[in-house]
Amino acid sequence: MAREPVNVSEFQQLAREVLPKMYYDFYAGGAEDEFSLKENVEAFRRITLRPRVLVDVSRIDMSTTVLGYNISSPIMIAPTAMHKLAHPEGEVATAKAAAACNTIMVLSFMSTCTVEEVASSCNAVRFLQLYVYKRRDVTAALVLRAEKNGYKAFVLTVDVPRLGRREADIRNKMVSPQLKNFEGLISTELESDKGSSVELFANSMFDASLQWEDIAWLKSITKLPILLKGILTGEDALKAVEVGVAGIVVSNHGARQLDYSPSTISVLEEVVHATKGKVPVLFDGGVRRGTDVFKALALGAKAVLVGRPVIFGLAAKGERGARQVIQMLKNELELTMALSGCPALKDITRTHVTTEKERL
Ligand code: FNR
């Protein structure tokens, strides 16, 4: 009988067993020394909880809204590339899991299913993650297709002027992006014996000259809300508010870009303070437990996004696995809320956590 994992870590183990090493390493790995990769997870462990007792927790309400869309819990699906390397149904299966869990999926720009395929396969609320290509017409065309297909917002990822150095991919000669949204643009030149084709692809296509002023260009071609993903400082959060984005995602790209960038949970509060409540602050990086979700909310996040855990679920058991992972995190969050005396998300406050700094 197939093993039934009881937590995200066991799903990761199962994914490792079923995936070819090249793909597992692609999903699990981070940049260079993988310092930030470990820190994203470890930093959560250094935050402890301050539970309150004798509160009526006979009913727990995890529901919330993001950009006005109702979701059943503050756990969303982060944009991650190339789900077909994890499972033949790819992003369509992930989107179905999002719909079943009544949450929002952010589809990656580097998707192996088209925006149309994902849209027609389920009724989950979908956002589309964007990169700005040197050829802006290509990005603009995808924006239009996403609008036509009912995507509700764009998440512009701003931490990839160039691809981070992911040494496992270089070692494994990671190949074959299979990026279905841009068929015709993917050239065979990318088949290289020099290293990772993902790196060659990103570095040849992405516009490394993109600046704050260019957000106006994106705003000029769409009426949909734009979130910026990859903000790690109060300074940049302020600028994001100034240029008029609808939200911020605190993220270090799952530690796949700049190694020795801070763990995301350690900078969340700085970003939240800088925004002064003007835009919602979402969070990702290292969320593996319901307690992690609780901690991020206590430090000011409106919701969290999970990346690798969903891919591990997808790799292990397809749509059902992705669903189980989200459900697991939801169950854990619900229990954490009950045991901390927080019947609703609004009851989770800064006083419910102690950071390492505060203990010293
Ligand atoms: C990513 N991430 C990412 N982000 C993005 O904006 N566009 C993308 O195409 C991808 N692709 C991608 C692939 C893989 C395999 C991973 C692991 C991550 C980053 C992602 O959105 C998110 O920031 C992190 O995954 C969050 O960290 P955890 O949950 O994986 O720890």
Which residue, by CA, sits nearest to atom 24 of ligand 1? 254
Which atom of ligand 1 lies closest to the CA of 78?
21
ipTM: 0.99
For residue range 280-314, list pLDDT tens digits in order: 999 999 999 999 999 999 999 999 999 999 999 99
Those residues with Cβ within 8 angstroms of residue 119's Cβ, 6 or more apart along the chain or in another chain: 126, 149, 150, 151
Confirm whether residue 247 is marked as ligand binding.
no
**How far is 70 from 67, CA to CA, in rounded Å?**
9
Which atom of ligand 1 lies closest to the CA of 110?
9
What would the two tokens of residue 309 be? 């855990």
Q: Residue 231: CB within 6 Å of ligand 1?
A: no
Q: What is the dihedral of CA 178, 183, 187, 190, to 10 degrees?
A: -20
Which atom of ligand 1 lies closest to the CA of 252?
23
Asked if 319 and 310 touch (Cβ cutoff 8 Å), the reply is no
Asked if 353 and 43 touch (Cβ cutoff 8 Å), the reply is no
Q: Is the pLDDT of residue 173 over 90?
A: no
Task: Grade residue 182 by pLDDT with cuts at 50, 70 and 90.
Answer: low
Task: Tell me the H-state helices in 29-101.
Answer: 35-45, 90-100
- For residue 80, the CA-to-ligand 1 centroid distance in Å is 4
Please tell me what DSSP assigns to residue 175. -
Burial pattern 20-54, b for ≥16 Cβ within 10 A else e, equals eebbbbbbbbbbbebebbebbbebbeebeeeeeee
**How far is 323 from 223, CA to CA, in rounded Å?**
31
Burial pattern 301-328, b for ≥16 Cβ within 10 A else e, equals bbbbbbbbbbbbbbbbbbbebbbbbbbb
Percentage of the chain beyond pLDDT 90 is 86
Q: Residue 287: CB within 6 Å of ligand 1?
A: yes
Q: Residue 230: CB within 6 Å of ligand 1?
A: no
Which residue, by CA, sits nearest to atom 2 of ligand 1? 80
Mean pLDDT computed over 100-125: 95
For residue range 17-27, list pLDDT tens digits in order: 999 999 999 99
Mean pLDDT computed over 74-95: 97
- For residue 311, the CA-to-ligand 1 centroid distance in Å is 10
Predicted pLDDT of residue 179 = 63
Confirm whether residue 327 is marked as ligand binding.
no
Predicted pLDDT of residue 189 = 40
Q: Residue 286: CB within 6 Å of ligand 1?
A: yes
Asked if 110 and 136 touch (Cβ cutoff 8 Å), the reply is no
Q: Is the pLDDT of residue 228 over 60?
A: yes
Those residues with Cβ within 8 angstroms of residue 236's Cβ, 6 or more apart along the chain or in another chain: none
Which residue, by CA, sits nearest to atom 10 of ligand 1? 80
Rg (CA), the chain: 19
**How far is 60 from 121, CA to CA, in rounded Å?**
31
Active site residue 253: yes
Predicted pLDDT of residue 177 = 60
Q: Which of 84, 120, 122 is nearest to 103 (CA)?
A: 122
Asked if 297 and 71 touch (Cβ cutoff 8 Å), the reply is no
Mean pLDDT computed over 231-255: 98
- Which residue shows structure tokens 């959060």? 237
Confirm whether residue 52 is marked as ligand binding.
no
Confirm whether residue 320 is marked as ligand binding.
no
Which residue, by CA, sits nearest to atom 8 of ligand 1? 80
For residue range 193-218, list pLDDT tens digits in order: 455 667 777 777 889 999 999 999 99
Phi and psi at residue 29, to the nearest 5°: -80, 170
Q: Which of 272, 263, 271, 318 is nearest to 292 (CA)?
A: 263
Q: Residue 81: CB within 6 Å of ligand 1?
A: yes
For residue range 44-66, list pLDDT tens digits in order: 999 999 999 999 999 999 999 99
Those residues with Cβ within 8 angstroms of residue 213's Cβ, 6 or more apart along the chain or in another chain: none
What would the two tokens of residue 141 be? 């065309």
